[in-house]
Amino acid sequence: MLEAGIKGHGELVVTEDVTAVKVGSGELNVLATPAMIALIEKTAWQSVAAELEPGWGTVGGLVNVSHLAPTPLGMKGLCDTVLTAVEGRKLVFEAVVFDECGEIGRGTHERFTVNNERFADKALKRSEK
């Protein structure tokens, strides 16, 4: 059952694949902001996945984060999320991201519960227009 207080933890190692240069968000070989956001989304998604009914999932709807410090190649990025509110289908998470030296990002993330099959059908119908 989805209730406020569910916690998640995720991590990644900063490899070339998640740098600003590689993802196209900058010129430096540091953790890209889009990669940090993906870590937040993945951590939040995985934290609630086991609480959903079969055939249901979540999709991201809003991300509001600050990227506060650079993380170089080889370091770990660690993410902690907490589900702070369940408002119908909307799930609100607080996220904090660290590397081995301290905090590198924080913010909020909203996800929405969806029936996976209906959501996929809706997406397919958009491609047929």
Does residue 33 have an active-site annotation? yes
Which of 33, 94, 108, 110 is catalytic? The answer is: 33
Does residue 84 have an active-site annotation? no
Which of 41, 43, 109, 113 is catalytic? The answer is: 41
Other beta carbons within 10 angstroms of residue 126's beta carbon come to: 8
Task: List helix spans (H) across 1-129.
Answer: 20-23, 33-49, 116-127
Residue 112 CA to residue 114 CA, distance in Å, equals 6
Does residue 41 have an active-site annotation? yes
Which of 19, 43, 58, 67 is catalytic? The answer is: 67
Q: Point out the residues that are catalytic.
A: 33, 41, 67
